[in-house]
Amino acid sequence: MGKLKLGIIGCGGIANQKHFPALSKFKELCELVAFCDVVVERAEKSAKQYGTEDAKVYSDYHELLKDTSIDIVHVLTPNVNTSS
């Protein structure tokens, strides 16, 4: 079986402090192939640091979810609406 392909929505604190370092320990099992953040620079930085060479970067999570090759999505966005 090939590696599980992961997509990440929200590349902020919990992603960088917990999820990315933890997932990095399981490189034989999974690979990070897509990163999304509304602040796209965060997705770009995370993709460079933790993603596969051809990892995709998005600012709109709808676009990431269109990629049917992704097996698992981690949703790491705030659970409250901070825009109002």
Ligand X SMILES: NC(=O)c1ccc[n+]([C@@H]2O[C@H](COP(=O)([O-])OP(=O)(O)OC[C@H]3O[C@@H](n4cnc5c(N)ncnc54)[C@H](O)[C@@H]3O)[C@@H](O)[C@H]2O)c1
List contacts with ligand X (CB under 6 A): 9-15, 17, 36-39, 42, 61, 76-79
Burial of 31 (0-12, 13-18, 19+ CB in 10 A): middle
Measured from the CB of residue 8, what is the shortest distance to ligand X in angstroms?
A: 9
Measured from the CB of residue 16, what is the shortest distance to ligand X in angstroms?
A: 8
Q: In the complex with ligand X, which residue's Cβ is closer, 1 or 80? A: 80
Q: In the complex with ligand X, which residue's Cβ is closer, 69 or 82? A: 82
- What is the rounded distance in angstroms from the CA atom of residue 54 to the CA atom of residue 32? 10
Q: How many residues does the chain have?
A: 84
Local structure of residue 12 (DSSP, 8 states): S
Q: In the complex with ligand X, which residue's Cβ is closer, 1 or 78? A: 78
